[in-house]
Amino acid sequence: MDMKERPTACVIIIGNEILSGRTQDVNLNFLASNLAGMGIELVEARVIADIEGAIVSTVNTCRSIYDYVFTTGGIGPTHDDITAECIAKAFNVELEQNQRARELIADLCERNGVELNAARLRMANAPVGASLIRNSVSGAPGFRMDNVFVLAGVPRIMRDMFDGCKKDLMGGPLVLSRTVVASLPEGVIAEPLRALQDQFPGVEMGSYPFYQDGRFGTNLVLRSADETLLRKVCLDVFNMVEELGGGPELES
Amino acid sequence: MDMKERPTACVIIIGNEILSGRTQDVNLNFLASNLAGMGIELVEARVIADIEGAIVSTVNTCRSIYDYVFTTGGIGPTHDDITAECIAKAFNVELEQNQRARELIADLCERNGVELNAARLRMANAPVGASLIRNSVSGAPGFRMDNVFVLAGVPRIMRDMFDGCKKDLMGGPLVLSRTVVASLPEGVIAEPLRALQDQFPGVEMGSYPFYQDGRFGTNLVLRSADETLLRKVCLDVFNMVEELGGGPELES
């Protein structure tokens, strides 16, 4: 990829518990923030069920489109953890017992005085050619195949694994962000904001209405990799809101 | 669709603010729970950017696969609200000013003593052939085109719009759910759980590990449309956990 471009990424959340409404996902927000913080553009996220066909086809579609793909979920020891075998199928390689993963899991079992049973050994399975992703929380590693990073679903473990991946991710120019908070409904701001957006296409302007104390307000989020331009445009937006009587406040 | 089958659904979350990590999405969880509560199977969710090409192609893919598609976001008055025009493009029809939507928005402006300006009138635009979805929170309606329900992104408004859609959604048999909480790590439960899953394919068994007070525990979530079978299998899982010394507790 061009060094001046930002690499692209996709997150695939594998989990019936998210789709059934039982669990509120928090992994996407963590990955989105952290990728943004490295200059990697998260273009898309998908939430899919624990179904082989869905996992294989989604992984294959996304790994061909995006520079990086991160999956969360489905790498534990139970029968519904099928991500590793699906990744092997997606890459058309065998699933094997990874010797380094087996050592890590055996060490962990010994330290914790628990049995190294068949279920726990399943967590040592990885596609042929995978490299491991460390798990300093609970031991059983994730893995990487080419541009696909296979992470746990438990948020604390997922975050630890992602931290361990960072060294292998190439970032791009950071997108900087400033927020002008206006005590005005969007309907008042929309026209002058559009004029500013037309004037400064180098700054992406997002408008997000909110309720507070029974009144509408709007967060105007300005994003650009050009810090000088961003400052200038932020001042213009601030002044625009002030002229409309919207008592602007700046958030970084 | 077959009346005995559960209709399928897909949620498309349109929003740069989710992909940049600025905002934690909460709409998916609401829609997932409510669809499950109506016997509609949420098969997939996608989070995509405020980009015309992405919206048009994702909507067209998903509306051809699933019985129902729900979009959230991008129907306000600002320049970055492009969902209505993208839905028109996806259906290959014109975007028009919907007269009933115009009346609703004009009434609202009059009641609130604000100007009916061009930006606010944009919210009256809908594809030709759309039917409106009421918004009792802030007035400007969502709309439905065929099997695609176009909802707001602001959670309070989205929830109100979804409530207004419920009468138009055909549900299927409810999937009932019971949860056995085990004070055991997954590695201990995995093998007997797999045996029970093999024995009772009519009950979907999910295993979700968690941390609490520095120890691993596991939620075993059992789901089935067959209440009698679910009760029987729930008792078996409960007994299995008890035999393993996992002090099981039942959650509904």
- A16, A19, A136, A240: best mutation site toward chain B, by most B Cβ within 10 Å? A19
Q: Is B20 on the interface with A (CB under 8 A)?
A: yes
Listing DSSP states for B169-203 in one string gives: ----SPPEEEEEEESS-HHHHHHHHHHHHHH-TTS
Q: How far is A130 from chain B (nearest CA, A)?
A: 23
Q: Which H/E stretch holds residue A9? A: strand A8-14
B78 closest CB neighbour out of A17, A50, A190: A190
Closest residue of chain B to A78, computed from CA coordinates: B190
Q: Is A102 on the interface with B (CB under 8 A)?
A: no
B190 closest CB neighbour out of A78, A177, A194: A78
| Angle B105-B110-B116 from CA coordinates, rounded to 5° | 55
Inspect the interface and report whether the beta carbons of A204 and B36 lie closer than 8 Å: no
The packing angle between helices A227-243 and A186-199, to 10°, is 140
Inspect the interface and report whether the beta carbons of B76 and A216 lie closer than 8 Å: no
**C-beta of residue B34 within 8 angstroms of C-beta of residue B162:** yes
**C-beta of residue B220 within 8 angstroms of C-beta of residue B242:** no
Domain locations in chain A? Answer: 8-168, 176-251
Closest residue of chain A to B195, computed from CA coordinates: A79
CA distance B158 to B170: 19
Enumerate the residues of chain A whose CB falls inside 8 A of the CB of residue B154. Answer: 209-211
Q: Is A19 on the interface with B (CB under 8 A)?
A: yes
Of A231, A211, A209, the residue nearest A220 (C-alpha) = A209
Note which residues in 176-195 of chain B have CB less than 8 A from chain A. Answer: 177, 185-191, 193-194
Q: Collapse the DSSP code of A104 into the 3-class scheme (helix H, G, I; strand E, B; otherwise coil) and give the result.
A: helix
pLDDT at residue A1 above 60?
no
Q: Is B234 on the interface with A (CB under 8 A)?
A: no
**C-beta of residue A162 within 8 angstroms of C-beta of residue A151:** yes
B42 closest CB neighbour out of A19, A33, A223: A19
CA distance B172 to B5: 6
pLDDT at residue A3 above 60?
no
Inspect the interface and report whether the beta carbons of B208 and A17 lie closer than 8 Å: yes
For residue A2, name the pLDDT band (cuts at 50, 70, 90). very low
Q: Is B119 on the interface with A (CB under 8 A)?
A: yes
- Does the complex come out with an ipTM higher than 0.85? yes
Q: What six digits make up the tokens of B10?
A: 């897909």
CA dihedral A161, A162, A166, A171 (to 10 degrees): 160
Least confident of A3-7, A123-127, B99-103: A3-7
Query: Could you count the other beta carbons within 10 Å of the beta carbon of residue A251?
Result: 11
Kindly state the percentage of chain A with pLDDT values over 90.
87
Task: Compute chain B's Rg from CA coordinates.
Answer: 22
Check whether domain B176-251 has CATH 3.30.1540.20, yes or no:
no
Residues 6+ apart with CB under 8 A from B103: none
pLDDT of A54-68, one tens digit each?
999 999 999 999 999
Average pLDDT over residues A159-173: 96
Kindly state the percentage of chain A with pLDDT values over 70.
98
Residue segments in chain B with a per-residue pLDDT below the cut of 50: 1-3
CA distances, B35 to each of A19, B151, B174, B187 (Å)? 10, 15, 10, 32
pLDDT at residue A222 above 50?
yes
Enumerate the residues of chain B whose CB falls inside 8 A of the CB of residue A205. Answer: 79-80
pLDDT at residue A214 above 80?
no
Q: Is the dihedral of CA A63, B17, B75, A179 positive or negative?
A: negative
**What is the model's pLDDT at position A246?**
86
What is the CATH class of B8-168? alpha beta
A187 closest CB neighbour out of B34, B77, B190: B77
**C-beta of residue A32 within 8 angstroms of C-beta of residue B33:** no
Average pLDDT over residues A119-148: 95
**What is the model's pLDDT at position A4?**
62
Residues 6+ apart with CB under 8 A from B158: B27, B30, B72, B151, B152
Q: What SS3 string covers A155-186?
A: HHHHHHHHHHHHHHCCCCCCCEEEEEEECCCH
Inspect the interface and report whether the beta carbons of B16 and A117 lie closer than 8 Å: no
Listing DSSP states for B228-240 in one string gives: HHHHHHHHHHHHH
Q: How many CB pairs under 8 A join A and B?
A: 192
CA distances, B174 to each of A50, B7, B171, B206, B223 (Å)? 20, 11, 8, 17, 10
**What is the model's pLDDT at position B77?**
93
